[in-house]
Amino acid sequence: MKRRLVLASNNAGKLREFAQLFKPFAIELIPQGQLGISAAEEPFDRFIDNALAKARHASKLSSLPAIADDSGICVDALGGAPGVRSARFAGEHCSDTDNNQKLLSLLAGDLNRKAHYVCALVVVREADDPNPIVVETHWDGEIIDEARGQHGFGYDPYFYVPEHQMTAAELSPERKNAISHRGQALVQLMEQLEKDPFFQKTDD
């Protein structure tokens, strides 16, 4: 049987991306919502710390190994904001549109549009795992003023990738998963999981 791994997220966009990314691997990914697990608090200022808190929370309540990510966009002209508050930049329960409108209003007239996405991925074998598997990656780009593309979520329509002359939302899901911060992080994570004795075993 496949090794079961709880995904500590209720974000629909992330669920879609992770499901696609995990297809090639012998791991059954179980969204925490299917197990009745609510979202964990994210009180920290670092992506890694929030990801670890979410993974431990999901593992504790499910008694299964868990994976969590904390990701967001960091804009140079805003001193790295929104950062860990990317999903709630415009306030609690705000929409992607609200967040993007706030971002663009703060950048109005600013010529420095450099930004990067960050993804911190953490896997814990159990809730109190003293040696969690940790990966953090960046994806560089720029913020543009007009939305482009129909794919992705969050800030993707405004995140322009000069190397590909497209926004993240214009890239096909398959292409985005191959080059994005989350795609890069998963590749690095899988390299570690493949060498980890715990993940060489399967669940009974």
Cite the active site residues.
70
Residues whose CB is less than 8 angstroms from the CB of residue 161 and which lie 6 or more positions away in sequence, other chains included = 139, 140, 141, 167, 168, 171, 179
Dihedral sign of CA atoms 83, 98, 100, 152 in order: positive
Rg for the chain (alpha carbons), in Å?
A: 17
Angle (CA) 26 172 96, round 5°: 95
Specify the 3-state DSSP secondary structure of 56: helix
Q: Which of 175, 145, 173 is CA-nearest to residue 159?
A: 145
Q: Give the count of beta carbons closer than 10 Å to the beta carbon of residue 102.
A: 15
**Residue 21 and residue 186 in contact, taking contact as beta carbons nearer than 8 Å:** yes
**Residue 71 and residue 182 in contact, taking contact as beta carbons nearer than 8 Å:** yes
Among all chains, which residue has been given the structure tokens 């049987």? 1
